[in-house]
Structure 1
Amino acid sequence: MRIVDVNEFYSPTGGGVRTYIDRKMAILAEHGHQLIVVAPGREDREEERPGGGRVIFRRSPPMPFDQNYGLFWDAAPIHALLDRFDPDVVECSSPWRPAWIVAEWQGHAAKAYFFHGDNMEAYAKTYLERLAPPQRIERAFGWYDRYMASFLERFDTVVTNGPALAKRLRARGVRVDAAMTLGIERGLFSPGLRDEDLRAGLLAQCGLPPSGHLLVGIGRHHREKRWPMVIDAVQRAGATLPVGLVLLGQGLASRTLEKHVGDSPHIRLFQPVYDRHRLARIMASADALIHGSSSEPFGLVAYEALACGAPMIVPDEGGAFEASAPGYAEVFRAKDPKDCAAAIGRFFARDQRALRAAAGDAATRVRSDEDHAEALVAHYQGVIAGKRRA
């Protein structure tokens, strides 16, 4: 099978989408399939990848608020590439110009729209939550769902990256044909990576002895991640418990977070850890992963931490919640720092060995990225077969 992905979110400088696609490209190549990515770039160039994969950058204007990404506009160069490669499936995940470019292409390929996120949840409902309740915001921005319906009807299949996003979209009446749950690179993560010396060192950075409690939060500094709420909850819980919090990440809100932490002695902000093995060791060595975002479509960090045998404290909505289970997690009301603090207290009142044992058992069942790729190909094969019958 040949898949061409017209993808505005594949950045020449890296990022989560690029990590996911590069890994998928390698897995598909191992199974005899070819993935070709068409992405905006600063110049026209092509990169060949092992196994027949290819990334084609077409010179495009940069995104106004993030120069790492570009924007497609002209359909002709994209249509020419689709004609050139004649794929079995053409994928798209941007709801703006690329969706229409793919929808209007006249080739025979099955057209798949892949939801990796939800702008309604990440932006409208996050930034306007202080002005109106969620239901009112959804009604006010109902035009966005109607707009998406206008191009989704031209696609042969509409899929999401997991059940959390599928539930959210379907509740608003947005078409979803299948939830193609993502997976993680299982070989990088293991409970066996736990390092008591590393744990003690991180607690020392938080001004606490090895007998303290270590929470780790991982993610970019963006409003939808709700790190200020997590910080408030940890400070509240810290009034009665020796709790330290290490946050790994950076972003537009980094300066705001630094001010929010202030002179708190037990909370530390660190740069992202790009060394995947070291990141896995940190996850495995934490007493729990703590997560604040209730709008994430898929809890990649939560699943990676679980594969390391780390229990978790998560909100009762969103992708991270889908990774949780009572045996190894405590859940709090989304967006509520007081309830988050209470969940921290409940978590450390439980038998820590039992929590970690339950997480270690669940680690063996975390879905792999190979599982995801195989399921996605099988789904596309069914769509192609149905299209031929029709």
Structure 2
Amino acid sequence: MIQRQIVDTINILCDKFPVIALTGPRQSGKTTLLKNTFPDYQYVSLEDPGNCDFAHSDPKGFLKLYSEKVIFDEVQRVPHLFSYIQTIVDTRRQMGKFILSGSQNFQLSQNITQSLAGRVALFKLLPFDFTELKNVNLLTNDYPDILIKGAYPALYDRQIPSDVFYANYIQTYVERDAVELIHIRDLRQFRAFLGLCAVRVGQLLNISALANECGISQPTAKAWLSILESSYITFQLPPYFKNFSKRIVKSPKLYFYDTGLVCHLLGIKTDGDLVYNPLKSSLFENLIVAEFHKQNEHRYQHMDFYFWRDSNGNEVDLLRPHAMTFDIFEIKSSQTIMSDQFKGLKFLQEIAQEAVAAKTLIYGGNEIQYRSHYTVLGWNQVSNY
């Protein structure tokens, strides 16, 4: 079993909060992590119809069965259970009493905010990050391997072929969430929408254009995109708004948490399919931006990330702010380092001046170079930086 980075922090905070909540996409390994990390806890899945019905109809009686430490999986299926859990933790003041897990971020977060604010430590478990794969020698030196394969645990633990895994994942989980959360009836149109999102990976998000191309209204496109975000399929990278005396772009960029899913939607199955694909650079950018997000969640760092672009097309792919400064990153899929790859970093440095701390080029090769004004970082070294 591949060790997850987030485990150490969960163990530490389990002694400091009465409730631990773990969310993340379906099949990201939440249940496996909790069962292996907390073998002395009772495990109850609320996906089970009997458990779900019992918790709905008699929440007090249901909770009496679990007077000691317990894991409630897919707890968002019984929303009113949160209020009863609040009463119990406020009365007993026992740390680590409940561990809650769920795969629908919106519902879980909403219930936590309403009932358990200040009582819960919330974690997100995403598909494997580079560090986790590197620790067991599963991260190669060639980025197309992981970009196309993806990073869901089943791909490594059970050796399921990527195309088989993602075809079933979309039908079993993504479409199921769409039907359950907003009652989508035309799944063919929703699949088309998902494919159009894949084509727009790493690009500025234009809801109007996306809706028009899919043949749906803008409110529907927003609702469907919300489903993909709450199910941890896609996320948006916001622009950095500080002007620096230039007109800047204010639309977010669209990314997927897992590039294997994007490649499946785009029909990319081999390195050869990727080489001449016009989205190759965008997919590599998605791989790196998603990795920053994974490391941020798995190390419990609570950082924010942005991109920057002005109206003239000058751009920096990723900004990582600190208190008074920020680090900037340019992301290039090429395995050859060229001088013009630094121009975005140089441009923003010139207008932001001392606000820029570190300037880094992340490229498709494996070397690390420390130049006079820049750091050059191989793609598989991102987890160390």
Answer whether TM exceeds 0.5 for this pair: no
Please report the TM-score for the alignment, with normalisation by the length of structure 2.
Answer: 0.34
